[in-house]
Amino acid sequence: TDLEDLHLYATPREQRFRRFASLEFEGQLYMTPYDFIQAVTNDEPKRKQAFCIDKNARENANAELNQILMETPPVWKGSSKLFRNLNEKGVISYTEYLFLLCILTKPHAGFRIAFNMFDTDGNEMVDKKEFLVLQEIFRKKNEKRERKGDEEKRAMLRLQLYGYHTSTNSILKTEGEDLVPRSYWDTLRRSTSQALFSDLAERADDITSSLSDTTLLVHFFGKKGKAELNFEDFYRFMDNLQTEVLEIEFLSYSNGMNTISEEDFAHILLRYTNVENTSSYLENMRCRIPEEKGITFDEFRSFFQFLNNLEDFTIAMQMYNFASRSIGQDEFKRAVYVATGLKLSPHLVNTVFKIFDVDRDDQLSYKEFIGIMKDRLNRGFR
């Protein structure tokens, strides 16, 4: 009962992780690769918690954990089917879950920024210690301010999510300074240098020794943890993860075909958003695209690559707004290309307009469109 009560003290991300995580080792929760895929593509887990590894069976538990990690391929053997191939044979911690979520929402151009943030000594390689320091920053960013009386519950949550008791004082602010809500990307981009020169860097060895190996650590740094990660392998991992999740979402609707219907595309776009009456959008599209042509995977993937560049696209759209120009399909395509370098197909753009052009004047209300797409991009965690 106490553990169930913890849900009330958890953030939305913590709640989702706790709901989908199926492994428990010495009181700490972990996801399998299968759990992670389920968490980012489904509303609810398909099964309950699988099993718990007891403290009293530590020796056997470590052997079992090591056996699972033996299945992990090296980073140079990664593919866009990595998580599906590993399935239940892997462990992902909560901080790694946050890191993977961040990858799913970022443009390819931002991958170099991410890598440089991890590469604290500037040798163009990332080692295990550097990676763990940045994971600690993710943990600090996620900590929730506690009200009086919450301390015990939050302490239990921290033990369950991180495997050890932690201080609630964020390293990303000075004493007396209010916490500023920022995205994880902003935390990496703006606050990393401050964090790295804090006690975190000095405590890197302690951090390394206090954490169990996981699938990501073995994948990136080898079974002995001595390997280093270069940018090409890091880029390929991030690109593969984005592709894998999109493939899974696409295949769940395509039923083995090469395309999904325009209506299915609309369903996927409107998932995880705050749109209450999705039926009006769907009905609008059915009336205006009576003959189904279908959306290919290449079109589907290019649209979500565009969404990962939504901030730059928003700036381009504002330029039209300042000039008091309406936004038709040609303007939309041009803004996408200027902001992202992507050329969306005419059929894909037409489908998007038919979904979101509710008043049917063939113009797009960019504010409403961008608001909805920000929700979709962040999968409900905006």
Q: What percent of the chain has pLDDT over 70?
A: 75
Token readout for 89 is 């044979």
- Encode pLDDT of 74-95 as tens digits: 999 999 999 999 999 999 999 8
Rounded (5°) CA angle 209-169-136: 35
- Encode pLDDT of 198-256 as tens digits: 444 555 555 555 567 899 999 999 988 899 999 999 999 999 999 999 999 999 999 88
pTM: 0.81
Question: Quick count: other Cβ atoms within 10 Å of Cβ 279?
Answer: 9
Cβ-count burial 290-314 (b if 16+ within 10 Å, e if not): eeeebbbbebbebbbbbbbbbebbb
- Give mean pLDDT, residues 109-132: 81
pLDDT of res. 197: 43
- Give mean pLDDT, residues 34-43: 91
- Encode pLDDT of 173-197 as tens digits: 333 334 444 455 555 555 454 444 4
Phi, psi of 267, deg, nearest 5 = -60, -45
Q: Is residue 135 scored above 80 in pLDDT? A: no
